Amino acid sequence: MSPPLFEPRRRLWLLRTPSTSYAVRIDEDDTVRHVHWGAALTLEQAGELAERTPAAGSSFDAVGGAEELAVEGGARFGPPGLQVRFADGTRAVEWRYAGHDADDGYLSIHLDDRHYPLRLTLHYRVHEDSDVIERWTTVENRDDRLPITLRRCDSAAWTLPGRDGYRVSHLVGGWNSEFRLRRAEVATAETVFTSRRGLTSHHANPWLAFDDGTAGEEHGEVWSTALAWSGSWRITLHRDPAGRTTWTGGHGHEGLTWSLAPGETLSTPVFAGLFTAGGFGAASRAWHAYVARHVLPHPGEPRPVLYNSWEATGFDVDEAGQTALAAQAARIGVELFVVDDGWFGGRVGDHAGLGDWTPNPDRFPHGLRSLSAEVHRLGMRFGLWVEPEMVNPDSDLYRAHPDWVMHMANRERTELRHQLVLNLARPDTAAWAHAWLDRLVAEHDIDYLKWDANRPFTEAGWPGHDDPDRLWIEHTRAVYRIMDRLRADHPGLRIEACAGGGGRADLGILARTDQIWTSDNTDPVDRIAIQHGFSQLFPAQVMGAWVTDSPNVATARQTPLRFRFHVAMAGALGVGGDLATWTEDELKEATELIATYKRIRPAVQHGTAYRLTGEGTLTAVGFAHEDRFVVLAWCPSRPYGHQPAPLRLTALDPGATYRDPDTGATYSGAVLLRSGLPLPLPEGDHASALVQLIRIED
């Protein structure tokens, strides 16, 4: 990748991606200002734009153009991305440009405070195969005597070009209802998106997208950003009365302060962004490609078809029952068998045992090694559920180390799910967590961990520590370090990120895990909307999706097995039903559908995804891969006797011919694009179809 271009006279930089440009400049008071983010420009064209950037505003407005990271001080009245307090009480910042480094797609701009020993560095990185721009910040206390208090330290601020009618797209939800896509006009005000829970959260996600109100799935300008952080976070969106739209974001939330010790440097998580002129679908595909190329540890691996025992057994877990389920799972074509909660300590329910990570001797008299060996003999990998960050007060661990949990002096310790949160920011607690996980994986030949985190932080204090709020950062970093060490020491280990379902889904956790448990809600009708929202940022290969029993345990909705499979086959397929109760016909159908999934898996997990919309409630996803286009379509409800119109496809060659290998039917690409694909939907509600199209040579 070529280095950023620099124009010394204007102190102007231009970063280039394959199809976009990003430009910044330093103005007369050494503030770094935004110039351009959008379609590709030359350095000369960026310079022309830089000349237009206002040098100053009125006394009632912000000074000059939008900043790359706003601070307190001077005539600034919007949301700051950096707030500090020096030892003498001063909070305002005045910058002096201190140089820059540029090399191979990377730019860092250094700023020093004019009086105090504070250095801020703005970092930018681009890749030759992606339009994503990675940004982050480092802040350094260069004093050798006094600390500096950080009240807010964001990763980056972003600025949109002047447009009317901007919309923001974002994800909302709750437990069992994650990733619900919402679009709304950007208000002339400050809008805060945040999680104060210590986790990414079910309720919001640090991904946003913006358009001018006219973009669609396959057309229009879209700007999108995503924060790579798995703890509490905050993004503040600001549209001022003059129409300028900016947002700033990073880790932490309001009310927290961190002490930057003498000589210490704090580095923030990456806040990445991209621009496309191809609509929301192109934005998602650009994110998916970036995740595969620059985030995931093993993007080229096929995600195995897994079986998880939770909905079959709950806490009633023992060796005989799990062995029987493993035999049934292997019979239908499962490749990874995962034992869920209830295998350890005194864990016969959710009241006790969490933290005592040794196999329950009554339930597993031979430990887990014999079950692991049997699962491997059946030709499957062996996985295990763990929750390393939590503890039950009724446990040997808590009785031995009550000080290891997050707590505040003279305050009650709130229990949620009868659990407390371990403070992994403590080196001793983190060392213990890594040690038992390392031992567990090694001693039981474990191939896969489902890493869960089932409750948010409360009383997040650290009595006796001189910087207790630091735990909001350091706990998440400790989780990262433990996962990184486990993967380094056990190269074959794969990890699934889970937090009561989709409560920890972000680019930070995906850098050290292989897939995400999308939601505890496995109802296929609900899952269509959940998976639609999830796909705005995340590719199908990381989206855990299970087929479970009917009626569904969460909603009591009854749906056909085929419909349940077709919805789950749009991601990393799993099975979670009680196989001991499935009929022979159901087991046979499941075996056939799993075999079909394995045939289309390269397209689903490594192809390019296109969200498709049909008539009424008909929706679909198409996956293009090599000479293949796979369609999974779902129609949850429809009027009696009504057959939806053919589904219009995309991303096909209009001059090519395509064949359906299951029916032998052939179609011209032009007809599929303009008039659609007839779908073999069965009558009634909860209808679905899977169609494979293979390009054939004329």
As a whole number of angstroms, the distance between CA 575 and CA 27 comes to 58
Annotated catalytic residue, options 112, 520, 526, 549: 520
Burial-class residue 51 by CB neighbours within 10 Å (0-12, 13-18, 19+): exposed
Domain with CATH 2.70.98.60 in the chain: 68-295
Q: Is 417 one of the annotated binding-site residues?
A: yes
**Encoded amino acid at 551, one letter:** P
What mean pLDDT is predicted for residues 80-96?
96
What mean pLDDT is predicted for residues 528-533?
98
Bridge partners of residue 169, in order along the sequence = 183, 209
pLDDT in tens, 176-202: 999 999 999 999 999 999 999 999 999
Question: At which residue do the structure tokens 């939590």 appear?
Answer: 390
How is residue 597 written in tokens? 């999934």
CA-based nearest residue to 311, from 325, 323, 324: 325
- Report whether pLDDT(54) > 90: no
- 452 labelled catalytic: yes
Q: Is 341 one of the annotated binding-site residues?
A: yes
**Encoded amino acid at 695, one letter:** R
**Encoded amino acid at 625, one letter:** H
CA-based nearest residue to 483, from 499, 465, 496: 496
Q: Is 330 one of the annotated binding-site residues?
A: no
pLDDT higher for 55 or 310? Answer: 310
pLDDT in tens, 327-355: 999 999 999 999 999 999 999 999 999 99
Average of per-residue pLDDT values in the chain: 96
68-295 in CATH: which number? 2.70.98.60
Q: Is 340 one of the annotated binding-site residues?
A: yes
Q: Is 451 one of the annotated binding-site residues?
A: yes
Query: In a 3-state reduction of DSSP, which class is residue 614?
Result: coil
pLDDT higher for 590 or 58? Answer: 590
Domain with CATH 2.60.40.1180 in the chain: 612-696
Q: Cβ contacts of residue 278 below 8 Å, gap of 6+? A: 218, 219, 220, 222
Query: In a 3-state reduction of DSSP, which class is residue 299?
Result: coil
Q: Is 233 one of the annotated binding-site residues?
A: no
Q: Is 453 one of the annotated binding-site residues?
A: yes
Domain at 307-457+487-606: CATH architecture: Alpha-Beta Barrel (3.20)
Contact between 159 and 245 (Cβ < 8 Å): yes
- Write down the pLDDT at residue 55: 46
Contact between 519 and 527 (Cβ < 8 Å): yes
Query: In a 3-state reduction of DSSP, which class is residue 100?
Result: strand
What is the rounded radius of gyration, in angstroms, for the C-alpha atoms of the chain? 27
- Write down the pLDDT at residue 189: 95
Q: Cβ contacts of residue 428 below 8 Å, gap of 6+? A: 404
As a whole number of angstroms, the distance between CA 293 and CA 203 comes to 28
- Write down the pLDDT at residue 53: 57
- CATH class entry, domain 612-696: mainly beta
Q: Where are the alpha helices (DSSP H) in 447-535?
A: 471-489, 507-510, 524-534
pLDDT in tens, 622-638: 999 999 999 999 999 99
How is residue 97 written in tokens? 């440009």
- 520 labelled catalytic: yes
What is the pTM for the complete model shown? 0.97
- Report whether pLDDT(639) > 90: no
Q: Is 175 one of the annotated binding-site residues?
A: yes
- Write down the pLDDT at residue 520: 98
Residue 64 confidence class, pLDDT cut points 50, 70, 90: confident
Q: Cβ contacts of residue 65 below 8 Å, gap of 6+? A: 27, 33, 34, 35, 53, 54
As a whole number of angstroms, the distance between CA 528 and CA 591 comes to 23
Query: In a 3-state reduction of DSSP, which class is residue 403?
Result: helix
What mean pLDDT is predicted for residues 462-488?
97
Pairing state of beta strands 543-547 and 515-517? parallel
Domain with CATH 3.20.20.70 in the chain: 307-457+487-606
Question: Hey, what's the torsion of the CAs at 453, 456, 458, 460, to 10 degrees?
Answer: 70
H helices, E strands: number in the chain: 13, 37
Pairing state of beta strands 628-635 and 619-625? antiparallel
- Report whether pLDDT(293) > 90: yes
What distances in angstroms separate CA 28 from CA 9, 22, 62, 83, 96, one per listed residue?
12, 20, 15, 22, 10
Contact between 235 and 206 (Cβ < 8 Å): yes
Question: At which residue do the structure tokens 């100053």 appear?
Answer: 56
Phi, psi of 475 (to 5 degrees): -60, -50
Residue 63 confidence class, pLDDT cut points 50, 70, 90: low
As a whole number of angstroms, the distance between CA 211 and CA 89 comes to 41
Q: Is 452 one of the annotated binding-site residues?
A: yes
Contact between 145 and 262 (Cβ < 8 Å): yes
Bridge partners of residue 237, in order along the sequence = 191, 247
As a whole number of angstroms, the distance between CA 222 and CA 220 comes to 6
Annotated catalytic residue, options 154, 211, 356, 452: 452
Q: Is 498 one of the annotated binding-site residues?
A: yes
Length of the chain counted residue by residue: 698
